[in-house]
Amino acid sequence: MPVSVTMPRLGESVTEGTVTRWLKQEGERVEADEPLLEVSTDKVDTEIPSPAAGVLTRIVVGEDETADVGSELAVISGDGEDAGSSEPAPAAQAQAEPEAEAEPEPPAPTTPSTEKPVEAEAPAPQTASASSGEGTDVKMPALGESVTEGTVTRWLKQVGETVEADEPLLEVSTDKVDTEIPSPVAGTLLEIKVPEDETADVGAVLAVIGSADAAPAAAPEPAPKPQAEAPKAEEPKAEEPKAEAPKPAPQAEAPKIESAPAPDIAPSAPSTPAQPAAPAAESVKANGAGDAGYLTPLVRKLAADKGVDLSTLTGTGVGGRIRKQDVLDAAEAAEAAKAKPAPAAAAAPAAAATAPKAAAAKPSPSPLRGRTEKLTRTRATIARRMVESLQVSAQLTTVVEVDVTKVAQLRNKAKADFQAKHGVKLTFNPFFALAAVEALQQHPVVNSSIDLEAGTVTYHDAEHLGVAVDTPKGLIVPVIRDAGDLNLAGLAKRIADVADRTRNNRIGPDEISGGTFTLTNTGSRGALFDTPIINQPQVGILGTGAVVKRAVVVEDPNLGELIVPRSMVYLALSYDHRIVDGADAARFLVTLKERLQGGQFEYELGL
């Protein structure tokens, strides 16, 4: 019995997901729990495993399309059912044989029609009527939360042209994202209902695609006259040498059938007859320039940021499409090549060594200069939530200066043994995190949430610590649950673990929600302090600045006031003034400051 693959619920409040990549294609076999596709939400990217073993007989939601939680993504049939799912293929072959006269294997029922051009025209009207009733609608997908409509900015295929399943069909723009909509099936574009620059509601039909066997029928729709049918019968004959060129028979049939209607409907497009000369995937891979028409905005932006020439890449996606990983691999290879200047430097004379120094003195400008581009989905979500946070809560920031010299000394003394024992580096973050959760236990008002509509405030009974992580996609905040139950080593390992998995898109969707307080290391890039924005519905966020050495006046019991070098850091607490008063914030920061300046972490470090 066929098994439906549905969109799972990928975390709290997640109602939809976008299919970013199919790891299996229609007709391929997949094992139970084997990764089947990749899905992206506004919180996390993850792989979806196959719920059963069998053959992927139908892909319902193409790449770059968005589907609601619980909706059908694909259909997997058992081994015995696979033959049934592939029945349309022989049917398409049976109809292709009368027109092309190139396949001698199953000629029994079709030989009489292949011998007479008049009979070859007879089944065409029947196919046309079938295609008009059995065509697949291409609908406007839901491209993000609260998106109700989209504008067609460009059709990548025209009426009469053939399209492969998952091949980009059109480009759509919304107020949140620009993206490409892939074809849900393979076949011929029979009708475009929404032209370029027009707007359509989510769920509206944008176009109609007929099956592969309906491709010849798309051409005679506007011309049922005998004169229009005559050249149609001649064109499949002209395609006979092209059908013999590709070695695999199934791949040869698709270009052979699809090439017929293109000259009938769009004779002015000389590129259409040239495409069937090779399978679509091979032609795209062979032509780097052709890939540029099938690039997502994300890939274009990434290539520009990394300085990668897209015309030099061979895509690994469907139909040779260039993907994000292809660009990242090329950029990594380029960086590796730059990191090996030894042979050139050894061969160059000493005088030539001055040229690189002069060039390095003036770094090249960023490729983003002078560009205007659409926001990514992640960046748009971050922007919306940051504005909402400022609108729904009364935020202000209190800053204290903390002397962490004792912490720095303990860290230098223990970091080598700590890494050898626990497998992670000992940074300042675990010290800040431990002191913060201890302070939250003493000042639960900072670890609360407020509901003005219900007139309630909830003081949480656990410290679920969010840790802001800088990623190429933007700032993402994974959550360390029950952080108050962890010691210094436990926090160090958990922080390193969630940060690594977040940067590598391996964080689970449930791990980036449910936080009660957030810690953000604004000093990781050298900033002394900033005023962080609260991550709703929390009421507090602590920003830790850079730890720097500078001259500080200290009080010595014997010598009085002295000016000595100390390791100093600014801690900035942004809080919701609707529930947290300035005195509450100050008391929380003083508790935090005393814990860090006391530096009593010897027990935690095993010293």
Q: Active-site residue numbers?
A: 577, 581
Q: What are phi and psi of 514, to 5 degrees?
A: 85, 10
State the DSSP code for 316.
Answer: -
Reading the block at residue 9, the tokens are 């619920």
Nearest to 457 by CA among 587, 581, 592: 581
Reading the block at residue 228, the tokens are 């229009």
Buried b (16+ CB within 10 A) or exposed e, 269-298: eeebbebbebbbbebbbeebebbeebbbbb
Reading the block at residue 38, the tokens are 């990749």
C-alpha angle 420/424/429, rounded to 5°? Answer: 130
Longest dimension (CA), the chain: 114
Tabulate helix, strand, coil % of the chain (nearest 5): 40, 25, 35
- What is the Cα 538 distance to its own chain's centre? 27
- What is the Cα 455 distance to its own chain's centre? 39
| Rounded distance between C-alpha atoms, residue 477 and residue 519, angstroms | 9
| Rounded distance between C-alpha atoms, residue 441 and residue 464, angstroms | 12
> For residue 235, what are the contacts with CB-CB under 8 A and spacing of at least 6?
259, 260, 263, 264
| Rounded distance between C-alpha atoms, residue 403 and residue 407, angstroms | 9
Q: What are phi and psi of 102, to 5 degrees?
A: -120, -10
Q: What are phi and psi of 137, to 5 degrees?
A: -80, 135
Nearest to 308 by CA among 295, 320, 378, 221: 295
Reading the block at residue 110, the tokens are 């079709």
- What is the Cα 474 distance to its own chain's centre? 12
Q: Under a CB-based contact definition with an 8 Å cutoff, are residues 322 and 310 in contact? A: yes
* CB-based burial label for 382 (10 Å; 0-12, 13-18, 19+): middle
| Rounded distance between C-alpha atoms, residue 156 and residue 189, angstroms | 11
Helix (H, G, I), strand (E, B) or coil at 570: strand
